[in-house]
């Protein structure tokens, strides 16, 4: 077995499906399909639409029109005669904010748009990384299961041969028991690998919006690992591009504008109300005037709002500092893990696993001929499985670390490419 990847689901097939295998899907096509059809992406895109609507909603207060209509009656004590007529009034009220307040409100709303856009970008990047990781996990689990089943079938055939011979003596009996024990252990390992395969396939189908048991065959591909940039370059890129850190910075900016707005709102808005009133009777009375109104500072609400905004700004500032320390730690750990795993992979010869597999098959043939002792036979079978799992696990760990590093830094430096 070489490092070439064959992605194939091992789900149990019905008799009809066994003759109708689905067309192999390239990894890039699978990632693009998931990115375009994932329903949660629509949620984040709707957040952007709602945030932009909030920006458009920041506008000067609309004038208020008031109309009044009634009946006026005037009478004097001891006099039966009374004068009556129609009375009506109309007024228009307009609230005027202090200069700059509207701009502050718009700035706060615009940070909501920026946060929503960062959320979409973060989800897209995470979805891309998860799709690629699951695709390779499908390959790892399938290859492990196939390798373990291959060796388990050798042990099963060997056990049946021993039982057919009616072994006499202690040594053949002990060898038979050793073979049976290894077969049982391998069956357990194969079952675990198949369950891991099914879990990866279930999640991939869920991301694709298909039935859980939908068949999936991914086209053969080879993992190619690149070199990560120097750690200072990665840290600088992470501080600039990391989605989580960027959202913390935007939240801090938003709280800064909110604090300025709270301080600005200590000064009340003024409402101007021109009005016109007319009353009928013996004569007609007409009144024209202008009214001014403003809230009185009867409570400490404006000061409380400033204090709350200041507290939230301090919290946002602390969150940015904590996020920066956590980001630097995660980038450093991911870079170290990726560099170490890639160096380990490159120490393997391209045909190392294939040589172990050939040696295991050769040991099986020669053991049946009596040319190889049982200890050597068991050791070579275990070495083949251990080497296969070691290479696959190392590649999977390098892929996870590389995708994680690209997600943290926002740099697409070709950490991992699954090329046809």
Domains in the chain (CATH in brackets) are 5-73+83-419 (1.20.1600.10)
What pLDDT score does 169 carry? 64
Burial annotation 15-32 (CB, 10 A radius, 16+ → b, else e): eeeeeeeeeebbbbebbe
Contact 27, 414 (CB under 8 A): no
Alpha carbon distance 6, 146 (integer Å): 11
Alpha carbon distance 97, 65 (integer Å): 18
262-266 CB contacts, 8 Å cutoff, 24+ apart: 262/302, 262/305, 262/306, 262/308, 262/309, 262/310, 263/306, 263/309, 264/98, 264/100, 264/101, 264/104, 265/101, 265/302, 265/305, 266/302, 266/303, 266/306
* Sheet-wide strand order for 416-419: 5-8, 217-225, 416-419
Alpha carbon distance 115, 323 (integer Å): 16
Query: For the chain, how many residues are written?
Result: 420
Digits of tens for pLDDT over the chain (420 positions)?
Answer: 444 334 443 334 333 344 456 688 888 888 888 888 787 888 888 888 888 888 888 878 788 888 888 877 777 666 666 677 788 888 888 887 778 888 888 888 888 888 888 888 888 888 888 888 888 888 788 888 888 888 888 888 877 776 666 656 666 777 777 777 887 888 888 888 888 888 888 888 888 888 887 888 777 777 788 888 999 999 999 998 888 888 888 889 888 888 888 888 777 788 888 888 887 766 677 888 888 887 776 555 667 788 888 899 999 999 999 999 999 999 999 999 999 999 998 888 878 888 888 888 888 888 777 788 878 888 888 888 888 888 888 888 998 899 899 889 888 888 877 776
Burial annotation 33-68 (CB, 10 A radius, 16+ → b, else e): bbeeebeebeebeebbeebbebbeeeeeeeeeeeee
CA distances to 77, 239, 241, 411 from 235, rounded to whole Å, are 91, 6, 10, 11
Sole residue written with tokens 């709707």: 46
What pLDDT score does 69 carry? 85
């Amino acid at each position: 077995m070489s490092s070439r990847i064959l992605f194939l689901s091992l789900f149990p097939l019905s008799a009809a499906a066994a003759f109708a295998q689905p067309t192999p899907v390239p990894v890039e096509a699978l990632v693009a399909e998931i990115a375009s059809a994932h329903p949660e992406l629509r949620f984040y895109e709707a957040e952007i639409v709602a945030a932009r609507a909030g920006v458009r909603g920041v506008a000067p207060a609309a004038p208020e029109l008031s109309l009044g209509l009634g009946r006026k009656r005037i009478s004097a004590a001891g006099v039966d005669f009374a004068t009556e007529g129609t009375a009506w009034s109309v007024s228009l009220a307009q609230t005027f904010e202090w200069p700059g307040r509207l701009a502050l409100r718009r700035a706060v709303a615009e940070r909501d748009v920026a946060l929503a856009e960062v959320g979409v970008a973060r989800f897209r990047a995470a979805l891309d990384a998860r799709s690629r990781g699951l695709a390779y996990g499908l390959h790892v689990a399938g290859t492990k299961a196939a390798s373990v089943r291959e060796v388990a079938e050798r042990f099963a055939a060997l056990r049946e041969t021993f039982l057919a011979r009616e072994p006499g003596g202690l040594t053949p009996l002990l060898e038979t028991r050793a073979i049976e024990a290894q077969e049982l252990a391998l069956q357990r390992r194969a079952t675990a690998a198949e369950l891991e395969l099914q879990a990866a396939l279930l999640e991939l189908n869920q991301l694709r919006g298909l039935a859980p048991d939908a068949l999936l065959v991914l086209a053969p591909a080879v993992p190619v690992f690149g070199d990560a940039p120097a750690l200072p370059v990665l840290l600088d890129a992470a501080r600039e591009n990391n989605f989580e850190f960027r959202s913390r910075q935007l939240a801090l900016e938003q709280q800064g504008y909110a604090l300025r707005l709270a301080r600005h709102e200590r000064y009340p808005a003024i409402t101007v109300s021109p009005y016109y009133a007319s009353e009928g009777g013996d004569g007609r009375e007409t009144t024209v005037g202008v009214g001014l109104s403003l809230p009185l500072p009867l409570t400490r609400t404006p000061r409380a709002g400033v204090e709350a905004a200041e507290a939230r700004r301090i919290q946002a500032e602390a969150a940015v500092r904590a996020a920066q320390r956590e980001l630097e730690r995660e980038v450093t750990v991911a870079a170290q893990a990726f560099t170490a795993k890639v160096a380990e992979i490159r120490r393997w010869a391209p045909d190392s696993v294939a040589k172990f597999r050939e040696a295991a098959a050769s040991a099986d043939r020669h053991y049946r001929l009596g040319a190889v002792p049982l200890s050597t036979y068991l050791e070579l079978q275990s070495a083949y499985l251990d080497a296969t799992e070691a290479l696959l696990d190392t590649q999977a760990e390098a892929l996870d670390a590389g995708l994680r590093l690209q997600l943290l830094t926002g740099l697409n430096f070709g950490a991992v490419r699954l090329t046809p």
